Amino acid sequence: MKLIVGLGNPGKQYDRTRHNIGFEVIDFLSSHYNIPLDKAKFKGNYGIGVIGGEKVILLKPLTYMNLSGESIRPIMDYYDLVPEDLVVIYDDLDLPVGRIRLRQKGSSGGHNGIKSTILHVGTEKFNRIRVGIDRPKNGMKVVDYVLGKFTKEEMDILEGTIKRCADACAQWAEEPFLQVMNKYNIQ
């Protein structure tokens, strides 16, 4: 079984914001693979289904970004999952809008959702899909930028990016993450 987690913040005011790109990918996977997020437990909404012959859990933590690990760890414990069974999808200021980067380990890079995940999972060795949102321009504060909505032009780019993230997750259901990483990091 695999656990696919998209990071974001709950609430309508955060819909379609840069910080919620992980939620967008989970929503796409839920719709595309007919896996309803119909369970509310572990401080999150989740659903269980099958992608590529592999049983998967799709999870949207509802803890707010900074406490994401408080949702991830309990569901991993309940389903007896190890860090290798986990992929976390989240926004990254250091990548251009639309670019994705897959990694198997690493520091939080200052991302509070990943800091919390590392703290609660107990290791930096878990799979990640970083989705580029670029850095703010014109002196805008980072917090205002990440909680701001995407522009129309950015959303046009991100529609394809969200699908690529979902495709990478589907491929991971069938083959090792390293192979998926090698394919998607060159695009």
Could you state, in chain order, the average pLDDT of each consecutive group of 10 residues for the chain (187 residues)? 97 93 98 98 98 96 96 98 98 94 94 97 97 91 92 93 97 95 86
Question: Taking the CA of residue 56 as centre, how many other CA atoms within 13 Å lie in the half-sphere pointing to its CB?
Answer: 26
Catalytic residues, which ones?
19
User: What per-residue confidence (pLDDT) applies to 139?
Assistant: 85
User: What per-residue confidence (pLDDT) applies to 82?
Assistant: 98
Q: 18-39 pLDDT, tens per residue?
A: 999 999 999 999 999 999 999 9
User: What per-residue confidence (pLDDT) applies to 99?
Assistant: 95
**pTM given for the model:** 0.96
Closest to 132 (Cα-Cα) out of 110, 149, 154: 154
Closest to 95 (Cα-Cα) out of 184, 33, 6, 23: 184
* Cβ atoms within 10 Å of 115's Cβ, excluding its own: 17
